[in-house]
Amino acid sequence: MVGNRTWFGGLFNSSGKRRQVSAEKIVLDLNPLQEQRLQKLKERLNVPYDETRPDHQESLRALWNASFPDRELTSLVSAQWKDMGWQGVNPATDFRGCGFISLENLLFFARTYPAPFKRLMLKQKGVRAVWEYPFAVAGINISYMLIQLLELNSARPKSLPGINFIKVLTEHEDAFELLYCIAFEMMDAQWLAMRASYMQFKEVLEATKQQLERELSLEDLNNIHDLPAYNLLSK
């Protein structure tokens, strides 16, 4: 059961049995592939969402179609968006906090893991709060949290999570997107374990960040599948 505290602690505390190392012991020397993939990711961070761009409009429509395939979207500015957890009738206003990549993250999650995506969006598992977190806005917050945790706005990461992420990026070009999906699952599991409500969202997000930081600090982390929380995507 996702919301069970014992289950949650047992799953994630398993990372405590594996060694965590200090970033001071690691010398970061990027190879050409790592340089290329990291630079490409950083360039994406600088792309704002532009509601006048046809490709951005198409991505937003694609997100709706992936989320609600049986419901037609009447307009890109519509009260229908609130059903997905946007703050208002125009998602463009929410994207200002993190840019186009936050839309790309949601779309990747919807297309790559449609069952977990819909389970989280529709709050289908666990004992839910009367006042739930808004799904889409939570997704933007997770994108922002990951950017900060991985130090993607810095020239080079200095913390172990950021350094280990480079190793994972070597194995998976879409490592950031995969980590986003895992983080979303972790956040929802944390939400249920804490029996949280809307006003506790920041607390839940911080707890998720701390757990993800611990997992990304494991000594033997080389692949996205090495994260203890990776198996959440299969539940």
Range of the domain at 87: 32-232
Looking at the domain assignment, is residue 90 inside a domain? yes
Model confidence, pTM: 0.88
Please name every residue paired with 20 in a beta bridge, in sequence order, or none if there are none.
218
Looking at the domain assignment, is residue 15 inside a domain? no
Looking at the domain assignment, is residue 3 inside a domain? no
Looking at the domain assignment, is residue 73 inside a domain? yes
Looking at the domain assignment, is residue 182 inside a domain? yes
d(CA 184, CA 212): 11
Identify the pLDDT of residue 24.
Answer: 54
Identify the pLDDT of residue 8.
Answer: 32
Looking at the domain assignment, is residue 119 inside a domain? yes
d(CA 176, CA 91): 22
- Number of domains the chain is built from: 1
Identify the pLDDT of residue 103.
Answer: 98
Contact assessment for residue 227 and residue 182, using Cβ atoms and an 8 Å cutoff: yes
Looking at the domain assignment, is residue 25 inside a domain? no
pLDDT single digits (tens) 199-225: 999 999 999 999 999 999 998 888 999
**pLDDT < 50 stretches in the chain:** 1-16
Q: What secondary structure letter does DSSP report for 132?
A: P
Looking at the domain assignment, is residue 172 inside a domain? yes
